[in-house]
Amino acid sequence: MPDSPRHLDARPRSILVTGATGNVGREIVERLRSHDVNVRSLARRHIESRPGFESVAGDLTDPAVVRAALAGIDAVFLIWPLLDTAPAEPLLAELSAIQTHLVYLSSTAVDDPAAHQSDPIVQVHADMEALLHGAGLHPTVLRSDTLASNTRGWAAQLLAGDVVRGPDIARTAVVDERDVAAAAVAALLARNEELDRDSYLLTGPELLSRSDQVDLLGAALGRPLRFEAVPSELARARMLADGRNEQLVDALLAASTHRPDSTLVTDHVERLTGQPARTFARWSFDHAAEFTRRR
């Protein structure tokens, strides 16, 4: 038997997608439907089953749920949804028991040499990567840059006016979630020897500030939009008033305050998918209807 999680000549026949109701997970499920594999989702809410697709509803921290979701699975796409890795121990035990092909979605902001990461979101990704490697799971790690789909959080403001208000963030090479999903599908379906790296850095083709993104979205909408940075405490109060989780709000604000500007632009999307990464301008055009002002 080889040391790798599955035989080198085997392609997965059954794939588990965690976070299947999220922006990336939904795209992965849709792409896998065009391949000759059975897809199973694990998410907090049940998704209607259809030929070649089944759903398990439950929590990644529940070992019984995870065990049921992993039964007969050849490959797993993993998103860890919490800001703490301690509850991941049962999941790691179940994954270790079957030693399946594992693709984990992480962050390009992880700084490997750093003793401590820039903010809690990056820290949990770094900690999760270490736990997966420490458990001998040999994951393929996809470190993603800022997702273009995060801008959906601006929809309510843009349906009401032409100004996006919020905390500013460092420039990053914003990446289309469709490209992240396509890269994940390629990694999930690949034989071990077809992957030339243990980890990939998934970025868009250009570095963008938040103001740049607002300008590009405005061009797609045919409206002059403007970004207005607000102080962290005001942003915190507004996000809490909107009903967001306090721990998540504080983590997001820590990221906006402490995460440094990025200079990273890679060709890893193209390396995995055979297609160059989409621009944020393209994402904005394709999703413009989501931001169209009500009449």
Number of domains in the chain: 1
Mean per-residue pLDDT for 212-240?
A: 92
Instruction: Order the strands of the 101-107 sheet from edge to edge.
Output: 53-57, 38-43, 14-18, 75-78, 101-107, 140-144, 199-202
Mean pLDDT of the chain, nearest integer: 91
Mean per-residue pLDDT for 52-75?
A: 93
Q: Report the C-alpha gap between 137 and 140 in whole angstroms.
A: 9
Q: pTM score, two decimals?
A: 0.91
pLDDT score, position 293: 63
Mean per-residue pLDDT for 158-168?
A: 93
pLDDT bucket at 7, cuts 50 / 70 / 90: very low
Q: Report the C-alpha gap between 155 and 152 in whole angstroms.
A: 5
Nearest to 268 by CA among 149, 108, 152, 71: 108
155 within some domain: no
63 within some domain: yes
The parent domain of residue 193 ranges over: 14-144+177-202+265-273
pLDDT bucket at 71, cuts 50 / 70 / 90: very high
34 within some domain: yes
pLDDT score, position 4: 44
Percent of the chain past pLDDT 90, that is, above it, reads 73
Nearest 5 degrees, angle CA 203-CA 144-CA 37? 105
Query: Does the pLDDT at position 5 exceed 80?
Result: no
Q: Report the C-alpha gap between 228 and 226 in whole angstroms.
A: 6
233 within some domain: no
Mean per-residue pLDDT for 232-259?
A: 84
Query: Does the pLDDT at position 31 exceed 70?
Result: yes
SS3 annotation, the chain: CCCCCCCCCCCCCEEEEECCCCHHHHHHHHHHCCCCCEEEEEECCCCCCECCEEEEECCCCCHHHHHHHHCCCCEEEECCCCCCCHHHHHHHHHHHHHCCEEEEEEECCCCCCCCCCCCHHHHHHHHHHHHHHHCCCCCEEEEECCEHHHHHHHHHHHHHCCEEEECCCCCECCECHHHHHHHHHHHHHCCHHHCCCCEEEECCCCCECHHHHHHHHHHHHCCCCEEEECCHHHHHHHHHHCCCCHHHHHHHHHHHHHCCCCCCCCCHHHHHHCCCCCCHHHHHHHCHHHHCCCC
Query: Does the pLDDT at position 3 exceed 80?
Result: no
Which range is least confidently modeled, 12-21, 156-165, 266-275, 286-295? 286-295
pLDDT score, position 243: 82
What does the pLDDT look like over 88-130, one tens digit per residue?
999 999 999 998 999 999 999 999 999 899 999 999 999 999 9
23 within some domain: yes
Mean per-residue pLDDT for 251-278?
A: 92
Q: Report the C-alpha gap between 111 and 108 in whole angstroms.
A: 8
What does the pLDDT look like over 177-208, one tens digit per residue?
999 999 999 999 998 778 889 999 999 999 99
Q: What CATH number has the domain bearing residue 106? A: 3.40.50.720
207 within some domain: no
189 within some domain: yes
Mean per-residue pLDDT for 82-90?
A: 95
240 within some domain: no
Percent of the chain past pLDDT 70, that is, above it, reads 95
